[in-house]
Structure 1
Amino acid sequence: MANVYFLDGILVFGLLFVCTCAYFKKVTCLKTWLFSEKKGVWGVFYKADVIGTRLHAAVAIACIVMAFYILFIK
């Protein structure tokens, strides 16, 4: 189990957050509610969505590498 206080836990949390925001962008009712603000606290969701959609190949590779690390190395 990944602990958030260690580097691998923070990376897992970040990857899951980016992937979740990119997925929620496709849901129409959440799109207007979560991603309408581009600044402030709610802007974090928008920025994570932009990272997830523009760097989808890099995020997917990072998820695979992190899964391999957690399952086999840790």
Structure 2
Amino acid sequence: MNVYSFDGLLVFALLVICTCAYMKRVPKLKQWFLSEKKGALGVFYKAAVIGTRLHVPVAATCVIMAFYVMFLK
């Protein structure tokens, strides 16, 4: 999938959000990777916050995107 297309960008964003939300649940990874809340690495912290607070819409979007990629594209 091409990252430069809109649907590729959506898949990439969903993967970043889901990965950062998972990493927030693992204590050693949280200390190492998500300790910075500002700057360039702050994007990963913000993605983790989005993934944990909006876990139901993110999960639904992942299922919809998986259906789209597997069957419609």
TM-score (norm 1): 0.95
**SS at 1:37's partner residue?**
coil
Q: How does 1:1-74 map to 2 (within 5 A)?
A: 2-74=1-73
Question: What is the aligned-residue RMSD (CA, Å)?
Answer: 0.6
Residue by residue, what CA displacement relative to the aligned partner does 1:11-55 show, whole Å, maximum 9, x if unpaired? 000000000000011111111111111100110111000000000
- Structure 1 residue ranges (4+ consecutive) displaced by more than 2 angstroms after TM superposition: none
| 1:17 maps to amino acid | V
TM-score (norm 2): 0.96
Q: 2 CA distance for matches of 1:13 and 1:42?
A: 17
How many percent identity over aligned positions? 64
**SS at 1:14's partner residue?**
helix
